[in-house]
């Protein structure tokens, strides 16, 4: 058996110091706190309320009494059997980095479940599976194992904190009901780099986690999924994303389902409880791609909603509600291996033209297929082909947000074809579809700029510096005012108005956050100033 007295005698009182973890635990505490297996009672330095620390090591408690606050209480006893302990005077029971030291926790937890008063909060922290190896650990614990053990006795919640990938943090409020509102459901393949970020980004909100792993995965995706999935599934790829998603959420019992890919994470999610009171079938998140393009997607949908479409699959929600404070970051480059990215690119190149082409043969008016085929060919710089699909889409579609987006991209396709008049015409049509979008003003400025109509370009560039006044579910560009001011400076330079060029470049530099670009813009501004001074001498 591990000799704890010897260990504590030879160890400093701050050996387990982790300010971030203890501060977070303290923020979850309430009322009179009982700290089981308190060791050197570090928590008493972070929690200012009533505190009682219990440990079976005299050496640990001796040191704790010497260094911790004078009004902290300590008790020496065997914590491996709490059958006779009186719990009803405590409001919070902390069991931190303790349960992994026991093969069987029945005599520790069962007395708490049976005798603690309703509303008592249990706080548990422990290593996340094998993440914190230690010779004194007798078992590894995971989120699904802890949820299964604690949820029959109270409301269980897990927390995303800075060390969550190494150490689990959980609360169980005894006697409170688990609402079972929301399940995270994922289908994944070779997502070793990103799957944990995806899960942890929503761990505070979800009541259940389902992960379906493609059997052809070659990395540690399955191994990582086991740390988090309450339900773990595997599947053979069927050349059909809708089939995979529908398979993954079969058997889910919560009211709502959230889906994330393994290379995504939730970057913002406010007013969570309010969102799940919606009467809609789908709750629309803003999904941001690596290039800054933002598009809406009902990432939370009611249980029972099915996906359709073998690729670019769609949740068939009868009605949706847009949630401005619900944002998802798509980060394939940062959270996928190069091999996985290469595979996905090849898969996309095969599936998009083949499967969406088959859908169009069956139904020439399939607007979803036309929309995505236009995007596909535009991304591959096949602008004429992209325009042909976009035009067919515009004859059929009536969603003005989507129509605006397609018209915007029609203009973008026309520019490299040197059809600036056509590009401007599409930009004007987009403006009629949805007025007062800064993106259209900047696009018009770029069209005139490329056509060397610099004075007109300046007018539109300046107009683009205003803010949008309408709801914009599709946002094709990141707002870059420094870039716009640089265009304005260049346009003034071309028409030899060096004084205003200096002002524009100076403004561009002041808005720039990248040092090299900022230095370059400052040099441009100084050059314009020097030329202007020379011209008036």
> Cβ neighbours of residue 497 under 8 Å, at least 6 residues apart?
none
Residue 354 forms part of a structural domain? no
> What pLDDT score was predicted for residue 170?
98
Residue 347 forms part of a structural domain? no
User: Are 139 and 222 within one domain?
Assistant: no
> What pLDDT score was predicted for residue 369?
96
Q: Could you report the per-residue pLDDT of 494-536, keeping only the tens digit for each? A: 999 999 999 999 999 999 999 999 999 999 999 999 998 988 7
User: Are 269 and 234 within one domain?
Assistant: yes
User: Are 220 and 72 within one domain?
Assistant: no
> What pLDDT score was predicted for residue 4?
67
> What pLDDT score was predicted for residue 10?
67
Q: What is the DSSP string of 60-85?
A: HHHHHHHHS-TT-EEEE--TT--TT-
pTM higher than 0.85: yes
Residue 149 forms part of a structural domain? yes
> What pLDDT score was predicted for residue 470?
79
Q: How far apart are CA 391 and CA 410, in angstroms?
A: 8
Query: CA distances (Å), 526 to each of 215, 258, 492, 532, in order?
Result: 60, 53, 15, 10
Q: Could you report the per-residue pLDDT of 110-163, keeping only the tens digit for each? A: 999 999 999 999 999 999 999 999 888 999 999 999 999 999 999 999 999 999
CATH number where 429 lies? 1.25.40.10
> What pLDDT score was predicted for residue 469?
80
Domain residues for 76?
Answer: 4-174
DSSP code at position 201: T
Three-state DSSP class for residue 302? strand
DSSP code at position 475: B
User: Are 97 and 168 within one domain?
Assistant: yes
Query: CA distances (Å), 149 to each of 16, 142, 351, 369, 382, in order?
Result: 26, 11, 43, 47, 56
> What pLDDT score was predicted for residue 250?
97
Number of domains in the chain: 4
> What pLDDT score was predicted for residue 9?
73
User: Are 329 and 449 within one domain?
Assistant: no
Query: CA distances (Å), 12 to each of 15, 146, 399, in order?
Result: 5, 31, 66
Instruction: Please report which residue ranges of 131-220 form alpha helices under DSSP H.
Output: 143-150, 195-200
User: Are 234 and 296 within one domain?
Assistant: yes
Residue 488 forms part of a structural domain? yes
Task: Provide the token pair at 115.
Answer: 């005798």
Q: For the chain, which ranges sit under pLDDT 50?
A: none
Q: How far apart are CA 451 and CA 457, in angstroms?
A: 9
Q: What percent of the chain has pLDDT over 70?
A: 99
> What pLDDT score was predicted for residue 6?
74
Inter-residue contact 34 to 93 (CB < 8 Å): yes
- Chosen domain end from 282, 316, 335: 335
User: Are 276 and 391 within one domain?
Assistant: no
Q: How far apart are CA 423 and CA 407, in angstroms?
A: 9
CB-neighbour burial class of residue 386 (10 A; exposed 0-12, middle 13-18, buried 19+):
buried
Q: Work out the number of other CB atoms within 10 angstroms of the CB of residue 145.
A: 16
Q: Could you report the per-residue pLDDT of 268-319, keeping only the tens digit for each? A: 998 888 889 999 999 999 999 988 999 999 999 999 999 999 999 999 999 9
Neighbouring-strand partners of residue 51: 33
């Amino acid at each position: 058996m591990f000799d704890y007295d010897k260990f504590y005698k030879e160890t400093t009182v701050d050996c387990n110091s982790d300010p971030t973890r203890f501060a977070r635990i303290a923020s979850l505490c309430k009322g009179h706190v009982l700290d089981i297996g308190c060791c050197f009672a570090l928590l008493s330095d972070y929690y200012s309320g009533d505190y009682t620390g219990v440990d079976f090591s005299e050496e640990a408690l001796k040191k704790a009494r010497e260094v911790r606050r004078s009004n902290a209480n300590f008790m020496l006893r065997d914590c491996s059997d709490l059958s006779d302990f009186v719990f009803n005077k405590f409001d919070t029971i902390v069991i931190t980095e303790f349960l992994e030291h026991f093969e069987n926790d029945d005599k520790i937890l069962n007395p708490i479940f049976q005798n603690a008063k309703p509303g008592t909060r249990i706080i548990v922290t422990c290593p996340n599976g094998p993440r914190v190896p230690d010779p004194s650990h007798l078992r590894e614990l995971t989120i699904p194992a802890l949820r299964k053990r604690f949820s029959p006795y109270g409301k269980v919640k897990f927390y995303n904190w800075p060390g969550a990938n190494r150490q689990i943090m959980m609360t169980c409020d005894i006697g409170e009901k688990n609402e079972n509102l929301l399940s995270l459901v994922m289908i994944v393949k070779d997502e070793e780099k990103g799957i944990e970020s995806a899960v942890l980004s929503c761990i505070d909100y979800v009541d259940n986690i389902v992960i379906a792993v493609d059997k052809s995965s070659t990395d540690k995706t399955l191994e990582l999924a086991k740390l988090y999935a309450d339900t773990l599934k595997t599947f053979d790829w069927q050349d059909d994303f809708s089939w995979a998603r529908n398979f993954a959420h079969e058997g889910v019992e919560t009211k709502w389902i959230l889906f994330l890919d393994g290379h995504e994470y939730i970057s913002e999610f406010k007013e969570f409880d309010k969102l799940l009171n919606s009467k809609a079938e789908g709750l629309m998140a803003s999904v941001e791609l690596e290039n800054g393009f933002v598009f809406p997607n009902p990432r939370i949908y009611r249980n029972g909603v099915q996906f359709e479409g073998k690729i670019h699959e769609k949740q068939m929600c009868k009605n949706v509600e847009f949630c401005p404070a619900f944002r998802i970051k798509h980060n394939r480059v940062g959270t996928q291996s190069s091999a996985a990215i290469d595979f996905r690119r090849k898969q996309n190149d095969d599936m998009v033209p083949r499967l969406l082409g088959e859908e169009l043969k069956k139904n020439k008016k399939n607007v979803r297929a036309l929309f995505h085929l236009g995007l596909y060919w535009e991304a591959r710089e096949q602008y004429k082909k992209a325009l042909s699909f976009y035009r067919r889409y515009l004859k059929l579609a009536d969603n003005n947000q989507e129509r605006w987006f397609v018209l915007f991209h029609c203009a973008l396709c026309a520019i490299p074809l040197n059809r600036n008049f056509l590009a401007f015409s599409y930009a004007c049509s987009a403006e009629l579809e949805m007025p007062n979008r800064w993106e259209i003003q900047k696009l018009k400025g770029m069209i005139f700029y490329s056509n060397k109509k610099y004075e007109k370009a300046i007018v539109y560039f300046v107009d683009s510096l205003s803010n949008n006044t309408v709801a914009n579910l599709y946002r094709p560009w990141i707002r870059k005012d420094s870039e716009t001011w640089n265009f304005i400076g260049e346009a003034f330079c071309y028409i030899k108005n060096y004084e205003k060029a200096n002002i524009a470049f100076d403004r561009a530099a002041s808005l720039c956050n990248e040092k090299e670009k900022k230095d370059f813009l400052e040099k441009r501004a100084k050059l314009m100033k020097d030329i202007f001074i020379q011209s008036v001498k």
